[in-house]
Amino acid sequence: MSEPISLKLTAKDFKSDQEVRWCPGCGDYAILAAVQGFMPELNIPRERIVFISGIGCSSRFPYYMNTYGMHSIHGRAPAIATGLSATRPDLSVWVVTGDGDALSIGGNHLIHALRRNVNLKILLFNNRIYGLTKGQYSPTSEVGKITKSTPVGSADAPFNPLSLALGAEATFVARTIDSDRKHLQSVLRAAAEHEGSAFVEIYQNCNIFNDGAFDPLKEHGIRDDYLIRLEHGQPITFGKDGQFCVVHPPGGFGLEVRETAATRPEEIVVHDANVTDPAYAFALSRLPGLDLRNTPIGVFRAVERPSYENVVRAQLDAARAEVTETPEQQLAGLLSSGDTWTIL
Amino acid sequence: MSEPISLKLTAKDFKSDQEVRWCPGCGDYAILAAVQGFMPELNIPRERIVFISGIGCSSRFPYYMNTYGMHSIHGRAPAIATGLSATRPDLSVWVVTGDGDALSIGGNHLIHALRRNVNLKILLFNNRIYGLTKGQYSPTSEVGKITKSTPVGSADAPFNPLSLALGAEATFVARTIDSDRKHLQSVLRAAAEHEGSAFVEIYQNCNIFNDGAFDPLKEHGIRDDYLIRLEHGQPITFGKDGQFCVVHPPGGFGLEVRETAATRPEEIVVHDANVTDPAYAFALSRLPGLDLRNTPIGVFRAVERPSYENVVRAQLDAARAEVTETPEQQLAGLLSSGDTWTIL
Amino acid sequence: MSKQIRQLDRVVIRFAGDSGDGMQLTGDRFTSETAQLGNDISTLPNFPAEIRAPAGTLPGVSSFQVHFADYDILTPGDAPNVLVAMNPAALKANLADLPRGADIIVNTDEFTKRNLSKVGYQVNPLDDDTLAGYAVHPVALTSMTIGALADQDVSKKDAERAKNMFALGLLSWMYSRPYESTLRFLERKFARRPELVAANVAAFRAGWNFGETTEDFAVRYEVKPAKMPPGTYRNITGNAALSLGLVAAGVRSGLPVFLGAYPITPASDILHELSKHKKFGVLTMQAEDEIAAVGAALGASYGGALGITTTSGPGVALKSETISLAVALELPLLIVDVQRAGPSTGMPTKTEQADLNLALNGRHGEAPVAVIAPKSPADCFYAALEAARIALTYRTPVILLSDNYVANGSEPWLLPDVNSLPDLRVEFATAPNGEDGSTFLPYLRDPETLARPWAIPGTPGLEHRIGGLEKADKTGDISYDPANHDFMVRTRAARIETIPVPDVEVEDPDGDARVLVLGWGSTYGPIGAACRGLRQRGLSVAQAHLRHLAPMPANLGTVLRSYDRVVIPEMNLGQLAHVIRAKYLVDAIGYNQVRGLPFTAAELETMLEEVLKNV
Amino acid sequence: MSKQIRQLDRVVIRFAGDSGDGMQLTGDRFTSETAQLGNDISTLPNFPAEIRAPAGTLPGVSSFQVHFADYDILTPGDAPNVLVAMNPAALKANLADLPRGADIIVNTDEFTKRNLSKVGYQVNPLDDDTLAGYAVHPVALTSMTIGALADQDVSKKDAERAKNMFALGLLSWMYSRPYESTLRFLERKFARRPELVAANVAAFRAGWNFGETTEDFAVRYEVKPAKMPPGTYRNITGNAALSLGLVAAGVRSGLPVFLGAYPITPASDILHELSKHKKFGVLTMQAEDEIAAVGAALGASYGGALGITTTSGPGVALKSETISLAVALELPLLIVDVQRAGPSTGMPTKTEQADLNLALNGRHGEAPVAVIAPKSPADCFYAALEAARIALTYRTPVILLSDNYVANGSEPWLLPDVNSLPDLRVEFATAPNGEDGSTFLPYLRDPETLARPWAIPGTPGLEHRIGGLEKADKTGDISYDPANHDFMVRTRAARIETIPVPDVEVEDPDGDARVLVLGWGSTYGPIGAACRGLRQRGLSVAQAHLRHLAPMPANLGTVLRSYDRVVIPEMNLGQLAHVIRAKYLVDAIGYNQVRGLPFTAAELETMLEEVLKNV
Ligand SMILES: Cc1ncc(C[n+]2csc(CCOP(=O)(O)OP(=O)(O)O)c2C)c(N)n1
Ligand SMILES: Cc1ncc(C[n+]2csc(CCOP(=O)(O)OP(=O)(O)O)c2C)c(N)n1
Ligand code: SF4
Ligand code: SF4
Ligand SMILES: [Mg+2]
Ligand SMILES: [Mg+2]
């Protein structure tokens, strides 16, 4: 295919006429702006883009995108999007979901979409809280979290969404953050280019019920020492002055952070998102501490595997390749197959 | 606590009066016998043992155990068992489930039980097929599987149940096989000793709809070259003559199999089920090939984390520690808390 | 040696044996031969719940009943005239259903001490008076089969497994069935193992010849072809007909068919069947659960496909929240419920009609959907087409209530002319519909159907958002306006209530009946047979059968009120009766049985006679 | 300067402002002061659907209505006598509800050009004749508050946020409310920031003094205490009362309470409340979804706890399959449905009664459960106890149908004597019950209650297995026997049908009414108020209210048939009316509104007057 003509769309083309109704200051605004700003890059006509969401503050997202969109029910967006994507491979299908929507009620559909590698771009807005229902803990809230439903602290260990996705055979796994538009858009770009499910966790601030959850990753002066920006093919160093690096201690399976100065360059792990074995990305996903130190952002994993639609469409195409009759003739043939008898 | 007196139970005590109704030759028989044979070891009175299952051939299991038992509905056993276990920490609660029951319809409850570390021993009978509904593919069936519902082959990549469990923060993960009673029982023993969720995958032959799925792991003369028997603290070697070993190639994150003869002893990975970082167990879980070569069995991971019931019971106990009133007095106090007024 | 030939107008045969004995196949073949001969037929298989219960036990018994006649029949028959019992368990499990005088062919080889004791026979029933009053034909089926295959190149096990063909041969002889199709079938089935073709054919012929030779079978029977409308027929089960109806709906609508399904008895066969029809562009997806299955179907509908999901009761319960979303989205969606006995897991291989309440009312909020039910196996084809028509035309979820009885039963089906099937083509929205010529109003309705436009993604200029929150009339924007909500709730109700459905037809050949029997779904056959029975005895009774449960036919009230008494037999505790009473304030009485089995014509006849006496 | 004091018998005040303006708190405080004074009260909050919609917009308006009187009242009032409007959006959103002549207190500071245009006011409504006919009191609330706090040690933002206390002070003055409890409340609330205590108290006093001083408020009102039965009262919302009822059920049964819940509006508050009561041994679990929540509750019940799950419509739909299992297992289980407007996500913060169908019929197979509904906020306490009683005594799931209106509304509650609450103790099975003295029969029933034994794990000698497959009578073994299934289905139905529930009481003070108004659930207040209104005008009307929807009271048929006309007002399309018509063949007529709002007494009065005219 030759280079397509540019549709010359702008962010404005992706703004719907609906008033945006998140709380003032909510991280969702920044994500919305970043997505709207990114969309023109896809160079896909608006009518071929669909946003499907579940329920939650984040799931209001489709209303604000001037594309096709469905605000469905709690947790079910990946399932609905799978049916759409399987029957309409010509569309660009995006799922917007929250930590509750995707990982609590919708956990099963999420992991199955990932293993199937359905061609969905799944954006999980992780604010580590239930926003819409006014502040209960979520499956990504830290242990001991005090919320309306856990007045003396929650008892259950949180999911690490990336570990879970990797355990579920995801082919594309990434993390980004609401406050860094450029990074967010770079991850969206990689997701869009991927064939199959792209799972993107976006750290998002809920300034009403979980304010500042990701502050260390955002505050000037601190964030550079906390955030690890993954770049495919590059040694993993970070810190304001690149003073930290990631190494893979011999004999171990996990990753560790060291002082760059005290480390031999060849010891520093060179990021490779394309390794087939998910063990590397899994090890990366375990790096951050509870205090958010050493939080990698960027594309953890992007490997090739045929998407679900490609496989099933190929099966359909193969079956239809032999067909020469009209559908009605085919049907007549089908109805009269097997043992028949005729009464005159 | 001093050593408890032995209850002197035998396997026979755990046989219920119900006729066992699996297909002749089904792997479930062997598992049942192994479990019944193991139970006396627990030295727990029968009335304090509960088996809860979902729906599937495997889920008929509770009927055959002379303990308390519930044959519940498809996929929901972990949820039901969670409620039971949380309110009755004095019981030994076992969940029996199948690959469809646990990983298809019940996937969400499974991963949440694991992250919560509910004190459940979860036995997943994996026959890589839907037995009870007569032979559709399951989430553990290999890609391209031809079944009643996939006449030209299934399109979706299977779950690796152990990887999924590890991605879901499981504290205990193990695999065993129907045909090896001794091994199966050793894994049950380890599971029983673990505080919190113990996830045990049991390879099980469905001789009607997926016969021979695990034959290489069972056949004399072949199995020893296919199976890796994990032993905590031991270097991982296998093969009839220990001719193979598992190494962790420097720089990489995965594991590889080598000839023992060509490997320096210190290169051989020493199995440690207790490492906190799940990355090691995850790497182990990725070892087997599609042809079942290099299949580890045994305990992959067993780490300490307080169980869900321990945390929540502690919260209850703390709250109740201060209580001196009778429940009725407490209630009267609660009812009249807040602003009240009196009309005379 | 030529035997006496006796003419019969109808026969009911039940083949019964162990799950491993191939009784379903035997029954199927006998049915096929019978169909070739032009008899009318109705069949009823009966599977055990276990995949393969221990051999020789009562729970392991599998049976297949076939009723054939020289006139048109409506049921697989109340009671078998002939029982083929391949082992003691089969005899024990089925004996109670046999009227005295019935023929019983038993495989004596299996009446061993061990097998007898497995089912609790202390004494061999062939030896005591257990079978007094029956015409017992003891046949050493197993050993004779093995003997007949002595010189064939097959293992003893394979030889033994051919005993069902021996039985089939014998029965085919007894009822003078043409057997060419069976021979062809065996060739197809064992195409890769010619030695098994030879063995099975030999076993069949041995059975036939045994009938011809032995003294025990003195009479041979004939059942003449039935007078049936001309055309090409095939024998078809409800699940197969339903599947073909769905394929036909795809062809006639020109839409791709998408089936999202999670396996469940007795609906799984529809998934199996549809997954074979990829060349029709039918895409099937085995989802992770029922919620995903209906979700995917809804997603496919949203994208312009005919979205379908197939399941049974427990699955419908799980899908309920998503169906409610589909009601709000006003998109076509077809939910097939092949009912089985509940509650909970119940008796999954048994039939029941107890999901009507769930279909009509099982959603939160006011969430009306259309509900229709087929009345017989072949009717499943047309019911599927009708359900698709309503879903597509009125942009609504439609629940199709089949049940295990019609799903697995079979009957001859006069193949329709494909081009005479309803035209289901739909028009997608392609242009703005607002007054200003540029806005698109996704909830502006067609004044006649009250359907909203179906504007599928990919259509330029119609980008819009839909969702489960209440929508403003016309624009579809989120609205919390009280008056709008009231309006939308009533409009959604009206959308279903005003779907035009055919008037209910009353069969009252005598024209003077005072009692009306009203049914729905699979009770059609037994009710019809019972009414015939009464009429043959000179009694007048009227029969009406509902295909449309929501909305109901416009004339139903008038019909009901023109009878002194309305009786509603149902395989539930009176769910339709409840609705009828509420809607029409008619004192309809229910006749209810919840036994996991279809009604027998005889019991309905007895019950109705009682009612007739008291009007 | 002392002002004129006028006596009133009742007043309805609505506080309205932006979500950030603290109107719920203001309303709550005013209610508390009023309660202290001994008026009867009824309140109605109205939240926006968004967490925090953009400031100053219509969707962002939050309001709280309080009705208080010197006699017992039944509703929060149809139309406010006084509106406090903190900004133009609050004025615009509420104006239509005000009768002419009502007082409107507006915060003029917020009537800026920008704020006006946000809600589409071209011209300031304070300047044109929009408010003609109302008694408008323009008050510069914000600036006066800031002014009053000028010398306090707080930021301007904090000062500004205290303006709701200024408003409260003013209103407290106007209606002569005792304010000590408010001062105490402020001290508690801001315990950690004494400067805020001072600021808020100062703002309150400034408001009070403003009333005292300004000419604009010439009159001060008094509403005398209502004559209420003696005792200690508190003001309580339905959700709080329901939570306390559940705690009480735990205490009175002696069982541990387990709540499995997944958050959903408007039921989440019950989860929040119960999670505070750990010292009662109440264990709450926020599950991963509704299915897990009910599953865990059922697991807890199986283990001998009082298993409860709380949710709203979409959650009940999801729980349906598990409730069907609970029906088969015959274990106690409490499902609380705080209804909201559907279908699908609908209008989650609005009220409706449209889940009755779902509660009664929303399961596959014949799966009957008990259903009960509270009639008022305080009644939620007793309804919870009653639901627990039925669940525990009859070993059955019970669905408790609350709704958003009772859940969030409040009223004074005469605290009960704890020891007079029903005794809910149950007996677990402890010994074999078979005739042989050694077998345990898990499905052997109590002949009176038809309940099966509750044999919890841990009980030696009673080990047994239960499940969702059909069970043989008595033994509970899996059974596919047709007669057994029919028996079990009918027994499960009888188990619910025969639960003794109190007769329905009819209120017909005149004794000659020919029209009966029948209601259920939260419509009690408006129906009662409408009936009173009619009676005060000399018209006779009878009122009956159903607490038990399944089973229904034994005398209901007789009651219904003794009136010429039965009218059933419901916030749905006639779900109870449908059941009543079906069961009793009474031509009950529905009066239905599905607006997300409770009925007003006035509209019911008008409607009933019309009905009375035509009997
Ligand atoms: C079936 C169902 N259960 C529960 C709810 C209530 N509910 C709505 S959103 C939500 C959780 C939202 O959390 P999250 O997904 O993290 O989104 P956020 O609001 O934080 O963006 C819940 C519990 C619902 N709408 N539907
Ligand atoms: C809600 C619901 N959906 C579907 C079914 C049908 N069903 C019963 S078991 C089963 C799958 C069984 O597979 P698996 O869990 O692997 O167990 P196995 O029979 O192989 O041991 C299915 C789909 C059901 N009983 N309930
Ligand atoms: S509640 Fe939190 S997540 Fe929701 S809109 Fe407000 S700030 Fe955003
Ligand atoms: S179908 Fe397979 S899994 Fe089920 S009982 Fe038979 S052999 Fe076992
Ligand atoms: Mg969230
Ligand atoms: Mg399986």
- What local confidence, expressed as pLDDT, does residue A2 receive? 56
Rounded to the nearest angstrom, the minimum Cα separation between A61 and chain C is: 10
Residues 254-293 of A with CB under 8 A from C: none
Averaged pLDDT, C116-133: 93
Joined tokens for residue A240: 């304001």
Verify whether the Cβ–Cβ distance D283 to B316 is below 8 Å.
yes
Rounded Cα–Cα distance for residues D33 and D38 (Å) = 9
User: Is D20 a residue whose pLDDT tops 90?
Assistant: no
The interface predicted TM-score of the complex, written ipTM, equals 0.97
Going by CA atoms, what residue is nearest to atom 5 of ligand 2?
Answer: C264
- What local confidence, expressed as pLDDT, does residue C1 receive? 47
Verify whether the Cβ–Cβ distance B76 to D289 is below 8 Å.
no
Contact by Cβ (8 Å): C11, C221:
yes
Give tens-digit pLDDT for C424-482: 999 999 999 999 999 999 999 999 999 999 999 999 999 999 999 999 999 999 999 99
- What does the mean pLDDT of chain C come to? 95
Rounded Cα–Cα distance for residues C414 and D195 (Å) = 89
Averaged pLDDT, D444-456: 97
- What local confidence, expressed as pLDDT, does residue A17 receive? 93
Chain C residues whose beta carbon lies within 8 Å of the beta carbon of residue D313: 364-365
pLDDT band at D236 (very low <50, low <70, confident <90, very high): very high
- What does the mean pLDDT of chain A come to? 96
Of B67, B315, B331, the CB nearest to D251: B331
Contact by Cβ (8 Å): C347, C375:
no
Going by CA atoms, what residue is nearest to atom 7 of ligand 2?
Answer: C264
Verify whether the Cβ–Cβ distance D38 to B343 is below 8 Å.
yes
| Cβ of B117 below 6 Å from ligand 2 | no
Chain C residues whose beta carbon lies within 8 Å of the beta carbon of residue B157: none
Contact status of C494 with chain D (Cβ, < 8 Å): no
Q: Is D10 helix (H, G, I), strand (E, B) or coil?
A: strand
Q: What is the B131 CA–ligand 4 centroid distance (Å)?
A: 5
Lowest mean pLDDT among A175-189, C205-219, D286-300, D458-472: C205-219
| Cβ of B132 below 6 Å from ligand 2 | yes
Contact status of D104 with chain B (Cβ, < 8 Å): no
Of C228, C277, C322, the CB nearest to A76: C322
Closest listed residue to residue B85, CA positions, set B121, B38, B41, B59: B121
Q: What is the B200 CA–ligand 3 centroid distance (Å)?
A: 40
Amino acid at D562: S
Q: Which atom of ligand 1 is nearest to the CA of A28?
A: 21
Residue A168: partners with Cβ closer than 8 Å, 6 or more residues away: A110, A111, A112, A114, A115, B159, B164, B167
Question: E-strand spans in chain B?
Answer: 49-53, 68-71, 92-98, 120-126, 172-177, 198-203, 227-229, 237-238, 244-247, 256-259, 295-302, 340-343
Give percent of chain C above pLDDT 90.
94
Contact by Cβ (8 Å): A59, A96:
yes
Averaged pLDDT, D570-585: 98
Tell the residue number behind the tokens 């087939």, with chain if given: A276
Chain A residues whose beta carbon lies within 8 Å of the beta carbon of residue D338: none
Chain B residues whose beta carbon lies within 8 Å of the beta carbon of residue A254: 277, 279-280
Across the 344 residues of chain B, what is the mean pLDDT of every consecutive 10-residue run? 79 95 94 98 97 98 98 98 98 98 98 98 98 97 97 97 98 98 98 98 97 96 95 96 93 91 95 96 94 96 97 96 94 93 88
What sign does the dihedral D444-D398-D525-D518 (CA atoms) show?
A: negative
What sign does the dihedral D108-D109-D111-D115 (CA atoms) show?
A: negative
| Cβ of B65 below 6 Å from ligand 4 | no
Chain D residues whose beta carbon lies within 8 Å of the beta carbon of residue C336: none
Going by CA atoms, what residue is nearest to atom 8 of ligand 3?
Answer: A26
Verify whether the Cβ–Cβ distance D264 to A139 is below 8 Å.
no
Q: What is the C530 CA–ligand 1 centroid distance (Å)?
A: 54
Averaged pLDDT, C30-44: 93
Give tens-digit pLDDT for D243-292: 999 999 999 999 999 999 999 999 999 999 999 999 999 999 999 999 99
Averaged pLDDT, C8-16: 96
Count of beta carbons in the 10 Å neighbourhood of residue D178: 13
Chain C residues whose beta carbon lies within 8 Å of the beta carbon of residue A18: 465, 477-478
Preferred mutation among B13, B59, B72 to probe D, highest tally of D CBs within 10 A = B72
Q: What is the B130 CA–ligand 6 centroid distance (Å)?
A: 4
Q: Is B168 helix (H, G, I), strand (E, B) or coil?
A: coil
pLDDT band at D158 (very low <50, low <70, confident <90, very high): very high
- Any residues with Cβ below 6 Å from ligand 3, and which? A 22-23, 26, 28, 57, 127, 131, 206-209; D 51-52
Residue of chain D minimizing CA distance to A134:
D51
Averaged pLDDT, C124-153: 93
- What local confidence, expressed as pLDDT, does residue A3 receive? 65
pTM for this entry: 0.97
What ligand has the least distance to the C-alpha of B98?
2
- What local confidence, expressed as pLDDT, does residue B1 receive? 47
Give percent of chain D above pLDDT 70.
100
Rounded Cα–Cα distance for residues C323 and C291 (Å) = 10
Rounded to the nearest angstrom, the minimum Cα separation between B165 and chain D is: 16
Chain B residues whose beta carbon lies within 8 Å of the beta carbon of residue A303: none
pLDDT band at A85 (very low <50, low <70, confident <90, very high): very high
Q: Which atom of ligand 1 is nearest to the CA of D265?
A: 6
Q: What is the B137 CA–ligand 4 centroid distance (Å)?
A: 14
Question: E-strand spans in C108-155?
Answer: 135-139
DSSP B155: -
Q: Which of B132, B145, B147 to mutate to test the pocket of ligand 2 (most atoms within 8 A of CB)?
A: B132
User: Is A278 a residue whose pLDDT tops 50?
Assistant: yes
Closest listed residue to residue A66, CA positions, set A30, A29, A13: A13
Question: Number of C-alpha atoms within 13 angstroms, CB side, residue D539?
Answer: 20
- What local confidence, expressed as pLDDT, does residue A1 receive? 46
Give tens-digit pLDDT for D516-566: 999 999 999 999 999 999 999 999 999 999 999 999 999 999 999 999 999
Verify whether the Cβ–Cβ distance B160 to A152 is below 8 Å.
no
Contact by Cβ (8 Å): B145, B137:
yes
User: Is D201 a residue whose pLDDT tops 80?
Assistant: yes
Q: Which of B21, B31, B55 to mutate to test the pocket of ligand 2 (most atoms within 8 A of CB)?
A: B55
Give tens-digit pLDDT for A110-166: 999 999 999 999 999 999 999 999 999 999 999 999 999 999 999 999 999 999 999
Tell the residue number behind the tokens 């436009």, with chain if given: C453
Examine residue C460 and say whether the peptide bond preceding it is cis (omega within 30 degrees of 0): no
What radius of gyration do chain A's Cα atoms show? 23
Joined tokens for residue D191: 């315990």
Rounded Cα–Cα distance for residues D553 and D550 (Å) = 8
What sign does the dihedral C356-C357-C362-C364 (CA atoms) show?
A: positive
Contact status of C509 with chain A (Cβ, < 8 Å): no
Preferred mutation among D325, D344, D465 to probe C, highest tally of C CBs within 10 A = D344
Of B62, B81, B340, the CB nearest to D299: B81
What ligand has the least distance to the C-alpha of B209?
4
Lowest mean pLDDT among A236-240, B301-305, D25-29, D217-221: D217-221
Closest listed residue to residue A273, CA positions, set A159, A175, A126: A175
Which residues on neighbouring strands pair with residue C40, listed in sequence order? C69
Q: What is the A100 CA–ligand 5 centroid distance (Å)?
A: 5
Count of beta carbons in the 10 Å neighbourhood of residue C537: 9
Averaged pLDDT, C116-136: 93
| Cβ of A203 below 6 Å from ligand 1 | no
Contact by Cβ (8 Å): C57, C19:
no
| Cβ of B131 below 6 Å from ligand 4 | yes
- What local confidence, expressed as pLDDT, does residue B3 receive? 65
Chain D residues whose beta carbon lies within 8 Å of the beta carbon of residue B82: 285, 287, 292, 295-296, 299
Of B156, B169, B254, the CB nearest to A279: B254
Give tens-digit pLDDT for C323-373: 999 999 999 999 999 999 999 999 999 999 999 999 999 999 999 999 999
Residue of chain C minimizing CA distance to B147:
C272
Chain D residues whose beta carbon lies within 8 Å of the beta carbon of residue B20: none
Residue C594: partners with Cβ closer than 8 Å, 6 or more residues away: C341, C352, C354, C571, C572, C573, D366, D485, D486, D489, D490
Q: What is the A97 CA–ligand 3 centroid distance (Å)?
A: 13
Rounded to whole angstroms, what are the CA distances from C97 to B117, B327, C12, C77, C349?
A: 54, 60, 12, 11, 19
Give the dihedral of Cα atoms D86, D91, D95, D99; nearest 10 deg. Answer: 40
Preferred mutation among A13, A60, A68, A315 to probe C, highest tally of C CBs within 10 A = A68
